[in-house]
Amino acid sequence: MPADKPGYLVDRSKYRGASPEETSIKISLWDQKAWLLNEEGESVLEADVATGVPGKETPEGIFTIQERLESKRSNRYGRYVKEESREIVVEKSWLHEGDPPEGTVYEGISMPYWMRLTWSGVGMHIGKFNKRTRSSFGCIRVFEKAQPLIFEKTQMGTEVEIVSGSLITRYGL
């Protein structure tokens, strides 16, 4: 992976052999990385991620995937667009509250390959970010080429553990 750009590494042989029924995910807030693990606890895929900013931190703990959607839009963060032309009226409306400007509709931010971890809105999804930079409002933004691969090898109930410490020496590919 280039030093300054987000990326991912995959062990193709282990990836092919991994079953969605037996995988798990580990995420390190310190490393700003996620690992997809096979049933033996071996790293199958390593991806750069971006987690929550101060005041909107990504929670630590053990979670399970509660919802999976290939195509999802946020109902909390987005913008207002003109209903007919889709022209942007308000670029960033981070807290979708109150009445929209007249003649507009709310368009949530796209969150492809969404995997919900909490019912309060924390999940994993594709998102843009700079490497080693926390930039979300609690979600785990995953490098765009890695998240579809992670999505493919997980299912409802897959365990996701989020820790504060480093995991590079344990899982780094």
How much is the pTM?
0.89
Q: How far apart are CA 143 and CA 54, in angstroms?
A: 21
Question: Beta partners for 74?
Answer: none
pLDDT of residue 1: 52
Identify whether residues 150 and 77 lie together within a single domain. Answer: no
Low-confidence ranges of the chain (pLDDT < 50): none
Q: At 148, is the secondary structure helix, strand, or coil?
A: helix
Q: Do 80 and 121 sit in the same domain of this protein?
A: no
Task: Determine the residue type at 134.
Answer: R
The amino acid sitting at 64 is T
Instruction: Specify the pLDDT at position 167.
Output: 92
What's the number of domains the chain is made of?
2
Asked if 152 contacts 19 with a C-beta cutoff of 8 angstroms, the reply is: no
Domain with 94, as residue range(s), is 73-110
